[in-house]
Amino acid sequence: MNSLGIDKAPADTRVVVAMSGGVDSSVVAAMLHEEGYDVVGITLQLYDHGEAIGRKKACCAGQDIYDARTVADRLGIPHYVLDYESRFRQSVVDDFADSYLRGETPIPCVRCNQTVKFRDLLATARDLDADVLATGHYVRRERGAAGAELHRAADPVRDQSYFLFATTPEQLDFLRFPLGGLASKAETRVLAQRYGLVTADKPDSQDICFVPNGDYASVVGKMRPGALKPGEIVDMDGKAVGEHEGIINYTVGQRRGLGVGGTAERLYVVKVDPEKNRVIVGHKEALARERVYLRDLNWLGGDLGADGAPVRVEVKLRSMQAPVAATVERDAATGSALIRLDEPLYGVAPGQAGVLYQGNRCLGGGWIERAEGRFAA
């Protein structure tokens, strides 16, 4: 077995590397090339190249494509740019806009991994007779008794397992994550310097690639005319306390910029109601949720809880949130799950992900459909 778990010599093992143009995927390509693998780099053009050229802090933009090609040229490996613009718009951008209109808070990076990268790009890698697809994500793929498992990265600060919860067992068999065992991002940059890569000092991407300057409402407003329709802000009793300029400007748990004056009380967004085009606000206690319902569950835990029996887990309900203790009951027939939290959490937003863990192992997760607590909104 070689270092990728394939029963071939490295030179006979074809590896497609998803090269975003950042330092992480560049180092992956360099590492595997140094080990003697047959490396092929692929970069995805996800939106209009003319618009992309000016965006310096987003992945898959014009400069990133140039940087990926420069790295590939230095390594002497084949490099291809694939136009996935229409697929990206249909699978990620349109879903992002529609999710906001449903009163949800979407995570487009998960959708991108779930569809364009780990479905479409993976299929392309197979068409190229690749043995594996390697990426620069910070997660670990471990071999378990029942097959490949998804585990947190060695560096908890860089861990990206929350964004990869939708990776299926079949995809996990074909994927490799060479950076998951590194102790820190600094180690990655040291390797980039040693390989002489142009991306060695390149800053990490900060924004969602198609949302310049983080202005989500502006993007959704342009895509969906009428999305910025004004409406009422009401309290828990239904009394109007202000006006909003579009529900897409609000998310559950939000405290700042509510546009509610004349009160000394600290109010939060408790619910976004798209049917009535209103935003419901209340005290922090009204945000407490004890039960969370997931849809489209992707289960990576094998037979655990197959009979609907409760499974003890830790769960993350937002990407930057620390995992908390809970019990999950899954319904394999409907692809849904109920999470019962040991302690209430605040600001649980529909459209976000509920990702489940046992220790360092990720058991998968699903999309938050709704959450319940002591107070109704």
Cβ pair 133, 125 in contact under 8 A: yes
Number of H helices, E strands in the chain: 10, 17
Q: How far apart are CA 306 and CA 320, in angstroms?
A: 29
**Spatial CA neighbour of 314 closest among 340, 280, 278, 287:** 340
| 253-258: Cβ within 8 A, 24+ apart | 253/287, 253/346, 253/347, 253/348, 253/349, 258/233
β partners of residue 368: 294
Residues 6+ apart with CB under 8 A from 230: 243, 244, 245, 246
Q: Is 109 a catalytic residue?
A: no
HSE of 245, CA atoms in CB hemisphere, 13 A: 6
Q: Are 315 and 355 in contact (CB under 8 A)?
A: yes
Quick check: 108 and 95 in contact, CB under 8 A? Answer: yes
Instruction: Count CB atoms within 10 A of the CB of residue 334.
Output: 9
> Of the residues 59, 60, 112, 362, which is catalytic?
112
**Residues involved in catalysis:** 112, 209
